[in-house]
């Protein structure tokens, strides 16, 4: 590991302690995954190319429950303008839809939150944990609609979207359909923890 990335790991560990407490740790098994994430967020073209990361795509971070996906993606915001990067649990979006209806889809599909402002970059957390809820009897696969809408923004403006998920590619297709699976493949770099990755919550 280069001295720069050693410093980046130290910074990440420091921010992790401040955010999650003294028991937060970075595990040697995760070094390659963390290195890929850092390369994306600091826009390190040379390292990203070496690691097979396309800086013109977002990130789909997958892995089993408890492996640290949400914590890592939340901390990565500190390598960039973290005010532009929002973590949003997919379950919360589903409940917002149940309460407020279809304007919720527009809210998260829109590529910026104020006129002439930089694009808001969302990380939709725990894709697959939300339910298809109803608003006044109208049922909607909310995240599928948001993904398809953000794909349109991606093709026009190259706006980034990130996701964390416990789902496999086949499970994503089963829940959201082949179009969403295809769009996610085009929009995102897949960075995956191994299926036997340790549960850091234990």
Sign of the dihedral defined by the CA atoms of residues 27, 42, 117, 61, in that order: negative
CB 97 within 8 A of CB 142: yes
**CA 42 – CA 45 distance, rounded (Å):** 9
Number of Cβ within a 10 Å radius of residue 77: 18
Which token pair is 105? 């889809």
Sign of the dihedral defined by the CA atoms of residues 85, 88, 93, 99, in that order: negative
pTM of the model: 0.89
Superfamily of domain 56-192: P-loop containing nucleotide triphosphate hydrolases (3.40.50.300)
Secondary structure of residue 169 in the 3-state scheme: helix
- For residue 34, pLDDT beyond 70: yes
What is the reported pLDDT for 136? 44
What is the reported pLDDT for 195? 77
**CA 49 – CA 200 distance, rounded (Å):** 29
What is the reported pLDDT for 114? 47
Which tens digit of pLDDT belongs to each residue from 115-153?
Answer: 444 557 899 999 998 865 544 445 678 999 999 999 988
Angle between helices 69-76 and 31-41 (to 10 degrees): 30
Sign of the dihedral defined by the CA atoms of residues 99, 102, 108, 112, in that order: negative
Domain positions in the chain are: 56-192
Is pLDDT larger for residue 72 or for residue 139?
Answer: 72
- For residue 25, pLDDT beyond 80: yes
Which tens digit of pLDDT belongs to each residue from 75-111?
Answer: 999 998 766 788 999 999 988 888 888 888 888 886 5
Paired strand residues for 123? 87, 162
**CA 192 – CA 172 distance, rounded (Å):** 14
């Amino acid at each position: 590991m280069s001295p720069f990335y050693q410093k980046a790991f130290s910074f990440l560990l420091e921010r992790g302690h401040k955010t999650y407490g003294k028991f937060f740790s970075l595990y040697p098994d995760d070094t390659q995954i963390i290195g890929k994430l850092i390369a994306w967020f600091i826009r390190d073209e040379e390292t990203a190319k070496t690691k097979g990361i396309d800086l013109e795509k977002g990130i789909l971070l997958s892995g089993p429950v408890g492996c640290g996906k949400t914590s890592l993606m939340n901390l990565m915001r500190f390598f960039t303008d973290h005010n532009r990067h929002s973590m949003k649990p997919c379950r919360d979006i589903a409940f917002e839809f149940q309460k407020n209806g279809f304007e919720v889809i527009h809210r998260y599909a829109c590529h910026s939150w104020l006129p002439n402002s930089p694009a808001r970059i969302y990380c939709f957390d725990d894709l697959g944990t939300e339910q298809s809820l109803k608003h006044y009897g109208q049922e909607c696969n909310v995240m599928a609609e948001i993904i398809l809408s953000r794909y349109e923004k991606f093709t026009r403006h190259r706006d980034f979207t990130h996701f964390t998920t416990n789902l496999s590619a086949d499970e994503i297709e089963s829940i959201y359909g082949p179009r969403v699976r295809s769009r996610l493949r085009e929009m995102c770099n897949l960075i995956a923890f191994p299926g036997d990755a340790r549960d850091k919550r234990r």
